Amino acid sequence: MGISSQAVAERRDAVLIEPPVLRPQGPLLPEDFFFGAPRSEKAFCGADGLLQGPAFTSEELGTIRALIKQHLVETAYGFSSTAADAIANAELENYHLISKEVDHGRLLSKKGRILPKSIVDAIKQMSFFDYVEKAMGPFYLSDEEGVGHEQICFRIVRPHRREDVGSLHRDSWFWDYYGFNVPPGIARGKVWVAVGGEPGLAGLLLAPGSQNISAPYRTETVNGKLAFVPDFDIENIGLQRYCGALGEPVMFNYDTLHVGSLNRAEQCRVSFEITIMFKSAS
How does pLDDT run across 99-147, given as a tens digit for each residue? 888 888 888 888 899 999 999 999 999 999 999 999 999 999 999 999 9
pLDDT of residue 149: 97
How many residues can be counted in the chain? 282
Q: Is the pLDDT of residue 11 over 60?
A: no
pLDDT of residue 3: 34
User: Each residue of 209-228: pLDDT tens digit?
Assistant: 999 999 999 999 877 788 99
pLDDT of residue 198: 95
pLDDT of residue 6: 41
Q: Is the pLDDT of residue 10 over 90?
A: no
How much is the average pLDDT of 173-180? 95
Chain centroid, CA 54 distance in Å: 16
Domain boundaries, the chain: 5-57+132-279
Question: What does the mean pLDDT of the chain come to?
Answer: 92
Hey, which bits of the chain come out as E strands? Answer: 21-22, 50-52, 139-141, 153-157, 186-196, 204-206, 217-222, 225-230, 240-242, 250-252, 258-260, 269-279
User: Each residue of 191-213: pLDDT tens digit?
Assistant: 999 999 999 999 999 999 999 99
Q: Which CATH class is domain 5-57+132-279?
A: mainly beta
- What pairing do the DSSP bridges indicate for beta strands 204-206 and 217-222? unpaired
For residues 18-54, one letter each, b for 16 or more C-beta atoms within 10 angstroms of the residue's C-beta and e for the rest, the string is ebeebebebbbebeebbeeeebebbbbbbebbbbbbb
CA distance 253 to 238: 16
Identify the three-state secondary structure at position 193.
strand
Classify burial at 129, counting beta carbons within 10 Å of its beta carbon; exposed 0-12, middle 13-18, buried 19 or more. Answer: middle
Identify the three-state secondary structure at position 111.
helix
pLDDT of residue 280: 96
CA distance 200 to 188: 28
User: Each residue of 25-71: pLDDT tens digit?
Assistant: 999 999 999 999 999 999 999 999 999 999 999 999 999 999 999 99
- Checking 213-219 for CB contacts under 8 A at 24+ apart, the result is 213/237, 215/170, 215/257, 217/169, 217/173, 219/177
**Amino acid, res. 120:** V
CA distance 84 to 261: 28
CA distance 92 to 118: 20
Task: Judge if pTM exceeds 0.75.
Answer: yes
